[in-house]
Amino acid sequence: MKYTVTVGGEAFEVDVSGGRIALDGKPLDAQLHTVVGTPLRQLVLTGRSVTFAMVRQEEGWTLLRAGEIWDATVVDERTRQLREMTGQSVGSGDQVVAAPMPGLVLRVEVQVGTRVKAGAGLLVLEAMKMENELRSPIAGTVTAVHVESGQRVEKGARLVEVAAPVDPCEEGR
């Protein structure tokens, strides 16, 4: 499985296949271990061990090591492709969630005025006999719902619009 990992604003491609790992196409001898019951992780990279704290956040992770803090996100290949197809990006600003492919709207889980967190489910779209939950790319308020349950949609159809909070202190509430 391929992932795009962004740490401190720098993006890397990580390919995890079986017991092998490649970073930006270069094979690595790496293992990541969890210290049970703590946020600590031990990374063993080409024989060298590094311990750090890894704390889950709403839109990714916070890494802490030796007094330094980095924000990190991990996006799998499928999610990255869906974001590219629908023109979504993670970040601030108002967002339109569009249909990544033609399908049938099974459920709409929000209405105008609903406050959502980044990653919250907005609706479920059935496409190619699979249910796909489309999630909010940002924290904010739903400003428009363009579809209803049972409606067929084409690729690129506008489904839901989410406005970012005007006051950054409201983000994630």
Do 20 and 63 share a domain, yes or no? Answer: yes
Mean pLDDT in the chain?
A: 82
Mean pLDDT of 91-109: 81
pLDDT at residue 168 in the model = 42
66 in the same domain as 100:
no
Q: Is residue 138 pLDDT above 60, yes or no?
A: yes
Domain encompassing residue 36: 2-76
Q: For the chain, what is the domain count?
A: 2
Examine the domain organization and report whether 38 and 11 are in the same domain. yes
Same domain for 162 and 95: yes
Rounded to whole angstroms, the Cα distance separating 58 from 71 reads 11
Residue 74 one-letter amino acid: V
8: in domain: yes
What is the average per-residue pLDDT within 128-138?
Answer: 82
Report the distance separating Cα 130 and Cα 47, nearest Å.
43
CATH number for the domain harbouring residue 55: 3.30.700.30
Q: What is the CATH number of the domain that holds 136?
A: 2.40.50.100
Based on the fold, state whether residues 22 and 51 are members of the same structural domain: yes
Distance between terminal CA atoms of the chain? 32
Q: Are residues 114 and 158 in the same domain?
A: yes
The answer to whether residue 89 scores a pLDDT higher than 60 is: no
CA dist list (Å): 109 to 122, 147, 160? 5, 11, 11
Q: Per the domain annotation, does 65 fall within a domain?
A: yes
pLDDT > 80? residue 79: no
Query: Is 54 strand, coil or helix?
Result: strand
